[in-house]
Amino acid sequence: MTTHAPLTASPPPDIATPVELDLDARMALTLAEMDERCRLAILAIDINSAHITIETSPEITAPLPLTPTTAPKPYATPIADLLHRARNRLLADGWCRDAVFDDDGAICPIRAIRLEAAGNRRRADDACVLLLEAIQSDFRDAETIPSWNAAQTEAGPAPLYLDRAAQLAHARNI
């Protein structure tokens, strides 16, 4: 029989006590973990989409042709809508200064309103009253729309004041 040396109890290994981490240390560990997760996710996307090929065609990459369009119908009330349509017609047909219309087809603001009113004289008259009111808010000496229109040196004010009259009609819900 063999004799063995008596077993002596060895001291237990030191068990480390957990260290409490402060907020900055916990956030740094979380940030490192999130960085690793993001890196793995990007790698997975690269691997999973490596077989996808994209073919471009000239029809897709070519810019779309731009065609001028009129502004959408922004007003629901009849007079405001009429004034907005008259503004668009004036822009499309051209502005005429000293007459109701000219040989080139350009028109004055009143003609634009009357054409867009399509025979509804009362609605056209109401729109003209609002147009004159919008004009007189800035030009107090303007007695009539034709006299104001004849005093203009460029086309810009006519559609601008048709637009202001449309906003006025919209604000009044007419």
Interval 2-27: pLDDT, tens = 555 555 656 666 666 777 889 988 99
Distance in angstroms (rounded) separating the CA atoms of residues 130 and 151: 19
**In what helix (H) or strand (E) does residue 125 lie, and over which residues does it extend?**
helix 121-138
Per-residue pLDDT at 16 = 67
Q: Which residues pair with 95 in a beta bridge?
A: 107
49-54: long-range contacts, CB 8 A cutoff, minimum separation 24:
none
Domain ranges of the chain: 23-50, 78-172
Residue labelled with tokens 């810009």:
156
**Which tokens is 149 given?**
């229109």
**Which tokens is 12 given?**
């237990």
Distance in angstroms (rounded) separating the CA atoms of residues 167 and 161: 10
**pLDDT, tens digit, 9 for 90 and up, residues 34-44:** 999 999 998 88
69 pLDDT exceeds 80? no
Per-residue pLDDT at 47 = 85
